[in-house]
Amino acid sequence: MPGAMLGLLGGGQLGRMFIMAAHSMGYRVTVLDPAKDSPSSTIADRHLRADYLDSDTLYKLGSTCAGVTTEFENVPAESIRTLAEHGVVSPAASSIAVAQNRILEKKFIVNNGFEAVPYAVIQNSHNSNEALLQAHPELFPGLLKVSRFGYDGKGQIRVNSAAELDGAFNGFNREPCVLEQLLPLESEVSVIVARGFDGEVATFPVSENQHRNGILDVSIVPARISPEIIHRAKEIAVDIAEKLDHRGVLCVEFFVVADGSHRKLLVNEIAPRPHNSGHYTIDACITSQFEQQLRILCGIPLGSTAMHGAAVMVNLLGDLWQRGEPKWEEVLRHPSVKLHLYGKLAARPGRKMGHYTVLADTTEAALQLALEIKQALAGMDLQKS
């Protein structure tokens, strides 16, 4: 119940937003993160600055917190297993281990009967790769992705032919990779699903996502796709959560592709945590994805995921700061727009520094205003040069 101390692995903005949700309901939070002055640690009640595998620190976290969760999937699964010996942990190490490795993730998707983008595993044996590629020429042009620690466009590169593959593979230090076929996409969508320890499940409205340079740029909710695709996307997301036995918040990203006169969904990636495409829920839904994460960890019934209206979220990257502080009046002068900044000290190109969410009665109205603000921020930035 409120007043308890909760534990959080990770210091990023997802953790910061979890802490804000926890504080609003009267909880306290201890953050374990090796970095100094991270977005989470600066507002946490306690910061344990240590490596995620430090046994003494894990014991301290597990023995002093009523439950522990994580804000990113690349925390060592071994740390989650250790913490589970002391008490409640959400999600489990088994779920995180699948999602943090693209090879395991792809195998999980296909082995459980879900459709994925055509792909091949690229390992360190050159001869086996050649044989594999001869059997799958359709994979070119493709996208080569490292199996671990790739995000926001990092750790991936386009390869147009088998001749380019070896150079790209060397560029990733011959780490295990997956090669995905590049497909013509109609759209990209995602579903945030919450699943409690009692099996209770809730899904948020489907988000339509637009990316730029591999980084999420704009999320439009509700997604502008057919009711049939929306229903199927939610159905698959719940099925994935159940097959993973995931207890917590989970995001499933999909590609929508044409299949003759029909549309089909391909599972792209799984994130075993709150997701960038779900940030709109903070302002647009009765219950945010972060409060839902808190409710699951604490064994509280799930909240309503109903929306107040349409919403469009736009990411704010460090590029906007390269000529000085952005002109926030372009955002704040609109009464239906909410600004969220993450408290990061250094603004680097491509780094997520914040976001804003536009609320409106219709998707079209929200999108129009969101793009006007986006252009105004960029225009003011350019005028400083």
Instruction: Give tens-digit pLDDT for 84-97.
Output: 999 999 999 999 99
Give the span between the Cα atoms of 51 and 42, in whole angstroms. Answer: 17
- The answer to whether the annotation marks 268 as part of a ligand binding site is yes
Task: Determine the residue type at 341.
Answer: L
Give the pLDDT confidence of 62-111 residue by residue, as tens digits. Answer: 999 999 999 988 899 999 999 999 999 999 999 999 998 999 999 999 99
Asked whether the CA dihedral 200, 245, 151, 190 is positive or negative, the reply is negative
Give the span between the Cα atoms of 38 and 284, in whole angstroms. Answer: 26
**Tokens 């779900």 sit on residue:** 278
Class of domain 5-90: alpha beta
- The answer to whether the annotation marks 181 as part of a ligand binding site is yes
- The answer to whether the annotation marks 297 as part of a ligand binding site is no
- CB 307, CB 285: distance < 8 Å: yes
pLDDT of residue 381: 41
Burial class, 145, CB count within 10 angstroms (exposed 0-12 / middle 13-18 / buried 19+): buried
pLDDT of residue 125: 60
Using CA atoms, how far residue 46 sits from 1, 13, 41, 42, in Å, is: 19, 16, 7, 9
pLDDT of residue 161: 84
Q: Answer whether 0.85 is exceeded by the pTM.
A: yes
- The answer to whether the annotation marks 183 as part of a ligand binding site is yes
Read off the DSSP letter of residue 227.
Answer: H
pLDDT of residue 132: 60
pLDDT of residue 152: 58
Provide the β-strand partners of residue 88. Answer: 67
**Phi, psi (5° rounding) for residue 216?**
-60, 130
Could you write out the DSSP letters of every residue in 237-284?
Answer: HHHHHHHTT--EEEEEEEEEEEETTEEEEEEEEEESS--GGGTTHHHH
Class of domain 118-181: alpha beta
- The answer to whether the annotation marks 180 as part of a ligand binding site is yes
Which CATH number does the domain 187-383 belong to among 3.30.365.10, 1.10.490.10, 1.10.10.10, 3.30.470.20? 3.30.470.20
- The answer to whether the annotation marks 153 as part of a ligand binding site is yes
pLDDT of residue 163: 79
Where do the structural domains in the chain lie, given as residue ranges?
A: 5-90, 118-181, 187-383
pLDDT of residue 253: 97
- The answer to whether the annotation marks 156 as part of a ligand binding site is yes
pLDDT of residue 280: 98
Helix (H, G, I), strand (E, B) or coil at 143: strand
- The answer to whether the annotation marks 152 as part of a ligand binding site is yes
- The answer to whether the annotation marks 211 as part of a ligand binding site is yes
Q: In 3D, which of 71, 147, 70, 66 has the Cα closest to residue 106? A: 147
pLDDT tens, residue order, the chain (385 aa): 999 999 999 999 999 999 999 999 999 999 999 999 999 999 999 999 999 999 999 999 999 999 999 998 889 999 999 999 999 999 999 999 999 899 999 999 999 999 999 999 988 765 556 656 665 788 889 999 999 876 656 788 999 988 788 888 888 888 899 999 999 999 999 999 999 999 999 999 999 999 999 899 999 999 999 999 999 999 999 999 999 999 999 999 999 998 877 889 999 999 999 999 999 999 999 999 999 999 999 999 999 999 999 999 999 999 999 989 999 999 999 999 999 999 999 999 999 999 999 999 999 999 999 999 999 999 854 333 3
- The answer to whether the annotation marks 155 as part of a ligand binding site is yes
Give the span between the Cα atoms of 19 and 41, in whole angstroms. Answer: 9
- CB 210, CB 217: distance < 8 Å: yes
Q: In 3D, which of 36, 41, 32 has the Cα closest to residue 83? A: 32
All residues at 6 or more sequence positions from 259 whose CB lies less than 8 Å from its CB, including other chains: none
- Identical fold between 118-181 and 187-383: no
Kind of pairing between the strands at 177-181 and 119-122: antiparallel
**Tokens 């536009």 sit on residue:** 358
Task: Determine the residue type at 4.
Answer: A
pLDDT of residue 68: 98
pLDDT of residue 153: 60
